[in-house]
Amino acid sequence: MGLQHWLRTPAGRYALAWEQAQIDRAVSDIFGYHALQLGNPALRGLEHNRMPHRWLALDGTEHDAPAQTADMRPACLLPEHYGGEPVYAEPARVDAIGAETDAQPGAADADAGTVHTEHLQCDFTALPFPAQSLDLVILPHTLEWVDDPHACLREVDRVLVPGGQVVISGFNTWSLWGLRQFVGRVGGGWYLPQHGEFLAPRRVRDWLRLLSFEVTQGRFGCYRPALCSPRWLERWRFMDAAGDRWWPVFGAVYFLAAIKRVPAMRLVGKVQLRAQRRAVALRPLAQRNANSTRWTP
């Protein structure tokens, strides 16, 4: 099961709502001209950002995998965990800039929640943007699904301008959901998406520091147990406030924001060029006495 399929489950909608709130709060005050979101079209990361040029990049793997057998499906998709049929949410709709519509240019959009974002399909480790051309890059669970997450971060560092920002979200391995996923690998019955390598937040922080990024924001969320029923997830709602206060590092989902720092040359005072002085060596001079043949210095 792919990530987009899992995000339509009750647990997926719960995690998606928390991530959407964190990203909206972070990107609303980031200014610039060019912004990019890599993957995960269900999360509208650029909806509250005011940059004039925005792109949603897909690598062709965002669609759900072919249907699996009942014993291979994650536990959250098995009907017995709901007491009925699973309930799915409608995927987010994203329109492309320049699409031919009947609306007049400059007319107000009838749907206030629609994000006008251009689509492109590319390799996340070889982005079709020149160096230092983007002001914001959003990676919602992107590092967990690419083949080489460190190469993806290096490519993000290449396309970001000095002072540009990157926003990252992902699953926390040290959480109740991570523990449930580990048990599912041993005994069957996956809770989170089966494919993908979940990265610890500390590991992602280390990668950012190696690339000269400064982490400015970091937060954990989604402290409710690994449940599949919407009713039971709502009953454990008090865990969000308790977990945020008492055990904040054990949230099921993490959020990071970082700024690209580039060291620059710093001149202190006025630079003066001094002429090189030649070294003078002293040597004795011989003088001849007219009344003698003796040489005297």
Q: Which tops the pLDDT comparison, 165 or 228?
A: 165
Domain-located, residue 278: no
**Is 104 domain-assigned?**
yes
CA distance 142 to 153: 10
Residue 288 lies in a domain: no
Does 54 or 265 have the greater pLDDT score? 54
**Contact by Cβ (8 Å): 252, 141:** no
Verdict on whether the full-model pTM lies above 0.95: no
Domain with 256 in it: what CATH number? 3.40.50.150
Q: Does the pLDDT of residue 87 top 60, yes or no?
A: no
Phi and psi at residue 215, in whole multiples of 5°?
-75, 120
| Residue range of the domain that includes 41 | 3-263
Number of independent structural domains in the chain: 1
User: What is the rounded average pLDDT of the residues 182-200?
Assistant: 77
Residue 31 to residues 51, 56, 107, 146, 166, Cα–Cα distance (Å): 6, 18, 24, 28, 13
Establish if 20 belongs to a structural domain: yes
**Are 48 and 28 in contact, with CB atoms under 8 Å apart?**
yes
In a domain, 289, yes or no: no
Q: What is the mean pLDDT of the chain?
A: 77
pLDDT digits (tens, 9 = 90+) for 89-114: 333 333 333 333 333 434 444 444 45
The residue count for the chain: 297
| Residue 54 confidence (pLDDT) | 94
Residue 250 lies in a domain: yes
Residue with token string 């490519």: 155
Q: How confident is the model at residue 80 (pLDDT cuts 50, 70, 90)?
A: very low
- Whether residue 72 is contained in a domain is answered as yes
Beta bridge partners of 221: 253
In a domain, 273, yes or no: no
pLDDT single digits (tens) 113-163: 454 678 899 999 999 999 999 999 999 999 998 989 999 999 999 999 999
